[in-house]
């Protein structure tokens, strides 16, 4: 069975959105993955179709009601882990993306307002995932980011497997810089080594570039890699 993405959202029209185009869109049309976006509001029970209420204990904004969200989760067939896009979740990493891509699919709950009632997170075991240390107005763009990253790893989606293997983060290093023709452009040349045809020297150059870049731009990633090497896992 192809990877099945099931979304719970108040804005199903946001899907597939950008995922209906380019690489992910082609894969969707070819049936390499599937997407279903259900409107949480369809599970509301009153005539105003209410999905949110005031926060207990006071405070600004509104909170998604646990009964309605649980009904949406229980009433929507899905496979794989249940995720909740949330700024206080575990950071989305390439390792988590790969883990999800290796599974049968995921249910992704997109929050709105101030968030969702804590009890539904616990009772429906929602795994909270964050796309970064900033606040979006809703979980939908975060879900699009997550799915974009997952879909490109699915079998048959990307042309060349190598292009995934060498990328930033796949081995803890950022990627080396890229160049293409013309060889001379605005008085700057492509690094000579890349035109030398010496594949071993080129590979060494790329490695060096990746290490330098990671050390300078992402000391956090670099430190993690050093620690891993010291433990003999590198």
| Site of interaction with ligand SAH (CB under 6 A) | 85-88, 110-112, 114-115, 130-132, 134-136, 138-139, 142
Half-sphere exposure of 218 (CA within 13 A, CB side): 15
| Residue 118: CB minimum distance to ligand SAH, A | 12
Separation in Å, CA 217 to CA 13, 23, 176, 221 = 38, 29, 12, 9
Which is nearer to ligand SAH, 77 or 132 (by Cβ)? 132
Which is nearer to ligand SAH, 186 or 220 (by Cβ)? 220
- By C-alpha distance, which of 123, 124, 119 is closest to 8? 124
Q: What share of the chain is helix, strand, coil (3-state, %, to 5)?
A: 40, 20, 40
CA 159 to chain centre: 20
| Residue 115: CB minimum distance to ligand SAH, A | 4
Which residue number has the CB closest to ligand SAH?
A: 111
Which is nearer to ligand SAH, 58 or 232 (by Cβ)? 58
| Residue 123: CB minimum distance to ligand SAH, A | 17
Q: Is 28 helix (H, G, I), strand (E, B) or coil?
A: helix
| Residue 114: CB minimum distance to ligand SAH, A | 4
Which is nearer to ligand SAH, 112 or 210 (by Cβ)? 112
């Amino acid at each position: 069975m192809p990877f099945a993405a099931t979304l719970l959202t108040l804005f199903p029209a946001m899907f597939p959105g950008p995922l209906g185009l380019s690489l992910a869109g082609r894969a969707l049309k070819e049936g390499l993955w599937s997407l279903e976006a259900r409107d949480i509001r369809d599970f509301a029970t009153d005539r105003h179709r209410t999905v949110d209420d005031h926060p207990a204990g006071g405070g600004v904004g509104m909170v998604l009601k646990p009964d309605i969200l649980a009904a949406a989760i229980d009433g929507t067939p899905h496979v794989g882990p249940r995720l909740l896009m949330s700024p206080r979740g575990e950071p989305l990493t390439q390792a988590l993306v790969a883990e999800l891509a290796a599974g049968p699919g995921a249910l992704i709950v997109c929050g709105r307002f101030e968030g969702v009632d804590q009890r539904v997170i616990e009772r429906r075991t929602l795994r909270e995932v964050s796309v970064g240390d900033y606040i979006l107005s809703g979980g939908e763009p975060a879900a699009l980011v997550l799915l974009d990253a997952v879909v490109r790893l699915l079998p048959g989606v990307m042309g060349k497997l190598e292009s995934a293997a060498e990328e930033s983060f796949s081995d803890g290093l950022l990627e080396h810089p890229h160049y293409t023709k013309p060889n001379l452009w605005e008085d700057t040349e492509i690094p000579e080594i890349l035109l030398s045809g010496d594949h071993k020297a080129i590979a060494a150059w790329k490695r060096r570039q990746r290490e330098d870049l990671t050390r300078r731009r992402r000391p956090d990633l670099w430190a993690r890699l050093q620690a891993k090497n010291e433990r003999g896992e590198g």
